[in-house]
Amino acid sequence: MNDLIIQNIKQLVLPKSTERPLKGAELDELTIVENGTVVVKDGKVVYSGPYTKDYEATEVIDASHHVVSPALVDAHTHLVHGGSREHEMSLKRQGLSYLEILERGGGILSTVEATRTATEDELFAKAEHDLLTMIHHGVLAVESKSGYGLDKDNELKQLHVSRRLQEKYGIDMRHTFLGPHAVPKEATSNEAFLQQMIDLLPDVKELADFADIFCETGVFTIEESRRYMQAAKDQGFRVKIHADEIDPLGGLGLAIDEAAISADHLVAASDEDKAKLADSDTVAVLLPGTTFYLGKNDYADARGMLENNGAIAIATDFNPGSCVTNNLQMVMAIAALKLKLSPNEVWNAVTVNAAKAIDVDAGTINEGDKANIVIWHAPNHEYIPYHYGINHVDTVIHEGRVIVKRDLTLK
């Protein structure tokens, strides 16, 4: 006897299982099954495909008029942080840029101060609420970065919180050490601070899966980023990079040269670097919610990356300053509208390719996969990025067990 059958599914969304990320035209390949069935036993998918009566289970969910898909994967978040920065919205309205706000002691540095001041339990309570919001919006795999401590004790504090969240809720999480996220006020120089972060790599090795760096004007150069990435690889880390967000410094090309698992942001990536994606499995993680929130007109060139046979994923970049949303569904809509992605491309970019960007077993619900599944209150898979800004989740299933069932009735 099986544990669960989801039956009469109006549309079943089935990204393909693959050893490497989907590249170029592959991103538009997505199996959509009308009138589908999913069967689950012991937390794993036994069957997913067209309607069948060949299985029995102790629990049956009737998904008539609903879409069923793999749970979403958010491949770039700054989940653990102290404080908030709503006061900066007035500065943005006055036309100040991100870097200008940073120069005034705002931006990252104000969040660093709030994170350093907060206790581990205070950070945990705040991040727990935000993580639960993600889960209620259909996300069951999350990458969580440090980077608001900028010293040993507080970077470790952030990573401890991230690990505690995974232990409590059991969802798929990856933890990223982003010590060189900004240069703190007390640093004597960029070079001296970067060396401190390199020296910290052995201490964070038991807590972090990846090492990341912010390569941008006013933060860390290409040469400094290369030095850090190579030191991290020497310590056994896989590497990531915040690259080419504002200026075309060549961060995407560096990521490809260093075999980074992902390069993120990439709004200003050069045509030369985009062409290199064809020969690389580095995933370009695009964050259109950030461009939207910062009020900019130029979005990352997703179509150009795909035309160069590159692999792309979409993520929220949830953080307190430049993308204050943990609703990946909203970002799916922005990706469709502003990155000119098809519905199939959007779905693959937040499932299978997002999973490849953080090396997690997620994003598909084919036979043998973990039964991390979302039932959506929607008539078809195109509807979810179309009807934007709300939560379309009906049910969230974690390893075969219903953990979220939304009730829209009034009490």
Distance CA 43, CA 28 (A): 29
Distance CA 94, CA 90 (A): 6
Other CB atoms within 10 A of residue 170 CB: 12
Tokens encoding 207: 């807590």
Distance CA 302, CA 321 (A): 24
Distance CA 256, CA 276 (A): 7
Phi, psi at 267, each rounded to 5°:
-60, -35
148 is in an annotated binding site: yes
321 is in an annotated binding site: yes
β 44-50/210-211 pair status: unpaired
Nearest to 177 by CA among 245, 261, 126, 239: 239
199 is in an annotated binding site: no
Distance CA 159, CA 135 (A): 20
Distance CA 278, CA 65 (A): 40
Residues in the chain: 411
381 is in an annotated binding site: no
Strand partners, 120: none
Distance CA 106, CA 108 (A): 6
Distance CA 385, CA 397 (A): 21
398 is in an annotated binding site: no
Nearest to 159 by CA among 110, 200, 114: 200
317 is in an annotated binding site: yes
Three-state secondary structure call for residue 50: strand
Distance of CA 8 to the CA centre of its chain: 31
The CA-based angle 236-143-39, given to 5 degrees, is 110
Three-state secondary structure call for residue 14: strand
174 is in an annotated binding site: no
190 is in an annotated binding site: no
242 is in an annotated binding site: yes
Phi, psi at 311, each rounded to 5°:
-105, 130
Tokens encoding 123: 């950070």
On whether the CB atoms of residues 73 and 375 are closer than 8 A, the answer is no
Tokens encoding 93: 């309205």
Annotated binding site: 76, 78, 85, 148, 181, 242, 245, 317, 319, 321-322
Annotated binding site for N-formimidoyl-L-glutamate: 148, 319, 321
Annotated binding site for Fe(3+): 76, 78, 242, 317
Annotated binding site for 4-imidazolone-5-propanoate: 85, 148, 181, 245, 322
Annotated binding site for Zn(2+): 76, 78, 242, 317
